[in-house]
Amino acid sequence: MSDPGGAGGHGGLGGDGGHGGSLAPLPEWLLPVQQGAASITADHLTRFTPPADGSARLGAVLMLFAEGAQGPELLLTERAHDMRSHPGQVSFPGGGLDPGETAVQAALREAEEEVGLEPAEVRVFATLPDLWLPPSNFAVTPVLGWWAHPSGVHIASRDEVHAIHHVPISELLDPTHRVTVRHPRGYQSPGFMIGPDNDVILWGFTGGIIAKLFDFLGWTQPWDETRVRDLPDYMLAADPRPTPGLLDIEDEPDRPHEDI
């Protein structure tokens, strides 16, 4: 499959289904992602699958692809640093499903609430398999969208969002930006260094989805797994109790993130 670094369905969606199907066609560099999403299974992404009894709470995140100044990119948010749950974690926009919502509707609504994204500008082209977060019992559906003509985003909810990151995929694939993230409790997880100064740690649930999807697509480049970065203090100053109304899209701190 082609590498997007130099380039300028599940859930019943089929190839283009869901929101925005009549918008601009997908660029060539994004076609491998669409094709990969049609064949990837949960086992490629995680060893946790939602319980068969349907008892898991439902959530969704938006994996939004766009074309930025530095080529193909992903939109990510950095959670507020004073949140009780997972402060400062880099994540996809997302949250729990409201009654009667689909995963696509929830992902787009949450993105609008968090960063002012206009849902009508997004072409949803696939979903990934549901991924289960055992500590919070959430079954999370990653929704994949193409943002052909961005009108811009802003921090719409400062209670939830500290910063917005437009991360070039070329930087995510750059081996010099890959690190092994170490938690004080001893476990480790593959991660990325992002942001203007490449000093913001992307790891955990969100980093795992990105890393394992890139692995599946054959995009990952060899990187030095002995390069270790410790989590900053602000990411550790969390009350592990669930925050009402918010989706914990990072695993709880007493679970090894490498298992996600």
Rounded distance between C-alpha atoms, residue 241 and residue 136, angstroms: 10
What's the half-sphere exposure (Cβ side, CA atoms, 13 Å) at 84? 9
The confidence score (pLDDT) of residue 79 equals 82
Residue 178, H or E segment: strand 178-182
The confidence score (pLDDT) of residue 147 equals 96
- Dihedral sign, CA of 9, 11, 14, 20? negative
Rounded distance between C-alpha atoms, residue 166 and residue 83, angstroms: 22
The confidence score (pLDDT) of residue 179 equals 96
pLDDT of the chain, 260 residues: tens digit per residue: 456 655 443 333 433 444 544 567 899 999 999 999 999 999 999 877 787 887 789 999 999 999 999 999 999 999 866 556 666 689 999 999 999 999 999 999 999 999 999 999 999 999 999 998 877 788 899 999 999 988 899 999 888 888 999 999 999 999 999 999 988 887 788 999 999 999 999 998 899 999 999 999 999 999 999 999 998 887 777 545 443 323 333 333 333 333 22
Q: Are 162 and 79 in contact (CB under 8 A)?
A: yes
The confidence score (pLDDT) of residue 243 equals 35
Domain 28-44+57-226 CATH assignment equals 3.90.79.10 = yes
The confidence score (pLDDT) of residue 18 equals 44
